[in-house]
Amino acid sequence: MGFLSRNKDKETRQEETIQAGPCPHNALTQRWDLPEDMGNKEKATYVCDACGERFNYEQARQFLEHPAVPPALEEAGVPRS
């Protein structure tokens, strides 16, 4: 029977797993431990909204000054701004 053989083929196929690339850390939110430190960039902790990783000011500044370009746009030749 054609119908049953088609369903059997679907069950035996291996599904490809898609692995996520590294997080570009493009969306960082500032957090302060003390209210009196609010507004001071050097005393803030920067939290990535996508992956939750935490950075100090120096690390966050690198991501903010040089944002990552997604690989698909990089392959298409989109220039960095």
Domain-by-domain residue ranges, the chain? 25-75
**Residue 68, Cβ density class (10 Å: 0-12 exposed, 13-18 middle, ≥19 buried):** middle
Give 34-76 pLDDT, tens digit per residue: 999 999 999 999 999 999 999 999 999 998 888 876 666 556 6
Q: Which two tokens stand for residue 37?
A: 């430190």
Can you give the pTM of this predicted structure?
A: 0.60
8 Å CB contact between 24 and 68: yes
Helix (H, G, I), strand (E, B) or coil at 73: helix
Nearest CA among 41, 37, 31 for reference residue 65: 41
